[in-house]
A and B are shown apart, each in its own frame.
Chain A
Amino acid sequence: MSTASVSLPNWITYGLIPVLNLIVAFLISGVVVWLIGESPLGALSLLIEGALGSGEGIGFTLYYATSFIFTGLSVAVAIHAGLFNIGSEGQAYLGGLGCALVALALDRFVPWYVTMPVAVVGAGLFGAAWASIPAFLQAKRGSHIVITTIMFNYIGAALMVYLLVHVLIVPGKMAPETRTFLDGGQLPKLGWVMNLFGAKLGAAPFNVSFIIALVAAYFVWLLVWRTKLGFEMRTLGASPTAASYAGIPYARTVMIAMLLSGALAGMMALNPVMGSSARLQVEFVGGAGFVGIAVSLMGRNHPVGIIFSAILFGILYQGGDWISFEMPNITREMILVIQGLVILFAGALEYMFRPALVHVYQQFKVK
């Protein structure tokens, strides 16, 4: 008997299954740690200590989480419209350009709270612009968006390197990066939030863009589940034929979904560029766009789930740094290993446990 069409209660689908998937991913990571000759439990406790053991650790965790919320939302918005946007990485990279140009132009003249909204728009616009070409190719010419967005990540990287090396670099400096923004181009840290809980933020670059991310998450929720546009996007994502029957314009909906997705990815740049390093650097995205895929999958494409799984990945990133510092044998790339496993089990193998759970559940229900 096939079990795929048997429906399970929400607490299993949205609670138990993701947790099981996560546990398996961690168990296998533990095996890797053990193979290297370190203690998996030791690594786990270091992970938690590093990520949550101090105000500074939490600050870093939330700093990373901020980026992941944006990219996770970016991936999710596209997925709801049935589009798999693998290009968040490149869109965020270009978003950094938009955000940096705004900061460079305004930081001398206005305070941060004036720069910030303009930078949000700038980052969003550039991100959206970078998404618009694959979006157009999908909407009008039917080019597979997965492939085109991958291509655009590489094209974007080449473009950004060119700009940073030849145009934006500070003459005489070695590193391909822009000048440091003045205060008017830097986002303030959220030290006071930490102080509320009696902790110290220290040097952690946890900043105002976290709040922007939360607001963005709220708007994504509103968009997807409460607006007409969101309804149309979900219809298209769930059934393209039903969407055409319902008179939902394919090209327009694809374009809007991808532009929003690109804009969200672009806004991610605010966090590292204006919130942390105060300059645009080469490769500043550092894979956060890809992490967004994992975050969105883990969070079942729902903003609340995305916030939780972004924080989880924040813990992973910060705690992973801590592990690699304390256990020199384990490099930080352990994070990539765990990340890959989480994507594998929460994404590609998400239903591996389902048949077994269905059987258990049905036995249980009969009794």
Chain B
Amino acid sequence: ADVKPALVYGTGGKFDKSFNEAAYNGAEKFKAETGIAYRDFEPTGDTQGEQAIRNFASRGFNPVVAVSFAWTSAIEKVAAEFPDTKFIIVDSVVDKPNVRSVVYKEEEGSFLVGVLAGMASKSGKVGFVGGMDIPLIRKFECGYEQGARSVKADIEVFQNMTGTTGAAWNDPVRGGELAKNQIDQGADVIYAAAGATGLGVLQTAADNKKFSIGVDSNQNHLHPGSVLTSMVKRVDLAVYNAYTDTKNDKFTGGVQALGVKEDGVGAAIDDNNKPLITPEMQAAVDKAKADIIAGTIKVHDYTTDNSCPK
């Protein structure tokens, strides 16, 4: 079918080395494979998302992918205005027939990196720096904590959130400061789930010769030797699938929940971090993955009851 793909990023910019860049990579992959060009837009503030989505829809772009929960209400509105256009929202659920909602089981991926963190930590203290203090980010933290605890029952997990507004995604200075605080308190592995703020966390960990864990995209290459692993969230898949499905007339609305089983989330291991991962760690993470897929490990999802088991 005719496909005229469009992509609206979350605030933070296309090349954030993280969430948005993953979406960008998905679109690029589609372009490389099909030769079909796409249009994208980088809102730099919360007010612009809706207008961009509407602009795309009204110019006949189809499908329109909006990555970030920030565009939830925008998609709700615009999808109603353009019932014939297909919309994809990532990280949030919009209940409309022409909207596909792609959400991830971040707790599962976080569990895996938690396992690695628990094993890599010598001090028995690990840290977590979140972006905006929302249930979604708590979900990352909670999975991570469960994973770390599964390998070291008495591990101590420090956690900090960068802020309570959208600015928290883009504040590497504070991110670094929070990481430094955690390091000063003894943490030797810090997981950042904070968009661009995480860059500051990774930087600080590298500066202080500690381990860090990246998020969303594979960030292992940012500070080789310091980034222990990355909790990749395959936003690229969401984008890529949205485009190919539409092209092949296979678009379906509804919710897609991608977990470890669907390869939607996972712990990235590549040449950059190979030397950091011992065979035992590799084995442990493989086992955890298998257990999650098999259902023998059930990772608690924070958002179901807004609490994390201790």
* Residues of A participating in the B interface, judged by any CB pair closer than 8 Å: 60, 161, 165, 172, 174-176, 180, 202-203, 277, 281-283, 286, 321, 324-325, 328, 331-333
- Between-chain CB contacts (< 8 Å), 19 pairs: A60-B51, A161-B165, A165-B133, A172-B135, A174-B69, A174-B92, A174-B134, A174-B136, A175-B70, A281-B46, A282-B165, A282-B166, A283-B46, A286-B45, A286-B47, A321-B48, A331-B44, A332-B45, A332-B48
Kindly provide the distance from the CB of B134 to the nearest chain A CB, expressed in whole angstroms. Answer: 4
The residue in chain A whose Cβ has the minimal distance to the Cβ of B70 is A175
Known A-B contacts A174-B134, A175-B69; the reply to A333 vs B44 at CB < 8 A is yes
Contact of B44 among A281, A282, A332 (CB under 8 A): A332
| Contact size range, B | 20 to 34
For the A-B complex, the count of residue pairs with Cβ-Cβ distances under 8 Å equals 53
* Residues of B participating in the A interface, judged by any CB pair closer than 8 Å: 40-48, 51-52, 54-55, 58, 69-70, 72-73, 77-78, 81, 92, 133-136, 164-166, 303, 306
Contact of A325 among B55, B134, B303 (CB under 8 A): B55
Roughly how many angstroms separate A175 CA and B69 CA in the complex, as a whole number?
A: 8
Kindly provide the distance from the CB of B266 to the nearest chain A CB, expressed in whole angstroms. Answer: 23
Contact of A161 among B51, B69, B164 (CB under 8 A): B164
Roughly how many angstroms separate A57 CA and B48 CA in the complex, as a whole number?
A: 14
Q: Is the CB of B72 within 8 A of A175?
A: yes
Q: Is the CB of B42 within 8 A of A331?
A: yes
Contact of A172 among B41, B54, B69, B306 (CB under 8 A): B306
Kindly provide the distance from the CB of A187 to the nearest chain B CB, expressed in whole angstroms. Answer: 16
Roughly how many angstroms separate A259 CA and B206 CA in the complex, as a whole number?
A: 52
CB contacts (< 8 Å) of B55 on chain A: these are 325
Q: Is the CB of A328 within 8 A of B41?
A: yes
CB contacts (< 8 Å) of A331 on chain B: these are 42, 44
Kindly provide the distance from the CB of B288 to the nearest chain A CB, expressed in whole angstroms. Answer: 27
Contact of A203 among B54, B166, B303, B306 (CB under 8 A): B54
Q: Is the CB of B81 within 8 A of A203?
A: yes
CB contacts (< 8 Å) of B77 on chain A: these are 203
CB contacts (< 8 Å) of A180 on chain B: these are 73
Roughly how many angstroms separate A180 CA and B133 CA in the complex, as a whole number?
A: 21
Kindly provide the distance from the CB of A92 to the nearest chain B CB, expressed in whole angstroms. Answer: 15
Kindly provide the distance from the CB of B3 to the nearest chain A CB, expressed in whole angstroms. Answer: 20
Roughly how many angstroms separate A180 CA and B73 CA in the complex, as a whole number?
A: 10
CB contacts (< 8 Å) of B46 on chain A: these are 281, 283
Kindly provide the distance from the CB of B91 to the nearest chain A CB, expressed in whole angstroms. Answer: 9
Roughly how many angstroms separate A333 CA and B55 CA in the complex, as a whole number?
A: 19
Beyond known contacts A172-B303, A172-B306, A325-B52: 14 more, CB 8 A cutoff: A174-B134, A175-B72, A175-B73, A203-B54, A282-B164, A282-B165, A283-B46, A286-B47, A324-B48, A325-B41, A328-B40, A328-B41, A331-B44, A332-B44
CB contacts (< 8 Å) of A333 on chain B: these are 44
Q: Is the CB of B164 within 8 A of A165?
A: yes
Q: Is the CB of A283 within 8 A of B44?
A: no
CB contacts (< 8 Å) of B303 on chain A: these are 172
Kindly provide the distance from the CB of A157 to the nearest chain B CB, expressed in whole angstroms. Answer: 9
Roughly how many angstroms separate A220 CA and B136 CA in the complex, as a whole number?
A: 47
Most buried by B among A202, A203, A321, A331: A203
Roughly how many angstroms separate A36 CA and B136 CA in the complex, as a whole number?
A: 38
CB contacts (< 8 Å) of B81 on chain A: these are 203
Roughly how many angstroms separate A321 CA and B50 CA in the complex, as a whole number?
A: 11
Roughly how many angstroms separate A175 CA and B165 CA in the complex, as a whole number?
A: 8
CB contacts (< 8 Å) of A325 on chain B: these are 41, 51-52, 55
CB contacts (< 8 Å) of A283 on chain B: these are 46, 165-166
CB contacts (< 8 Å) of A174 on chain B: these are 69, 92, 134-136
Q: Is the CB of A176 within 8 A of B165?
A: yes
Q: Is the CB of B165 within 8 A of A321?
A: no
Q: Is the CB of A176 within 8 A of B164?
A: yes
Roughly how many angstroms separate A175 CA and B77 CA in the complex, as a whole number?
A: 16
Kindly provide the distance from the CB of A272 to the nearest chain B CB, expressed in whole angstroms. Answer: 9
CB contacts (< 8 Å) of A282 on chain B: these are 164-166
Kindly provide the distance from the CB of B81 to the nearest chain A CB, expressed in whole angstroms. Answer: 6
CB contacts (< 8 Å) of A328 on chain B: these are 40-42
Roughly how many angstroms separate A175 CA and B133 CA in the complex, as a whole number?
A: 10
CB contacts (< 8 Å) of A176 on chain B: these are 164-165
CB contacts (< 8 Å) of B43 on chain A: these are 332
Most buried by B among A60, A174, A321, A324: A174
Roughly how many angstroms separate A24 CA and B82 CA in the complex, as a whole number?
A: 42
The residue in chain B whose Cβ has the minimal distance to the Cβ of A282 is B165
Most buried by B among A172, A176, A325: A325
Roughly how many angstroms separate A332 CA and B45 CA in the complex, as a whole number?
A: 9
Roughly how many angstroms separate A165 CA and B46 CA in the complex, as a whole number?
A: 17
The residue in chain A whose Cβ has the minimal distance to the Cβ of B165 is A282
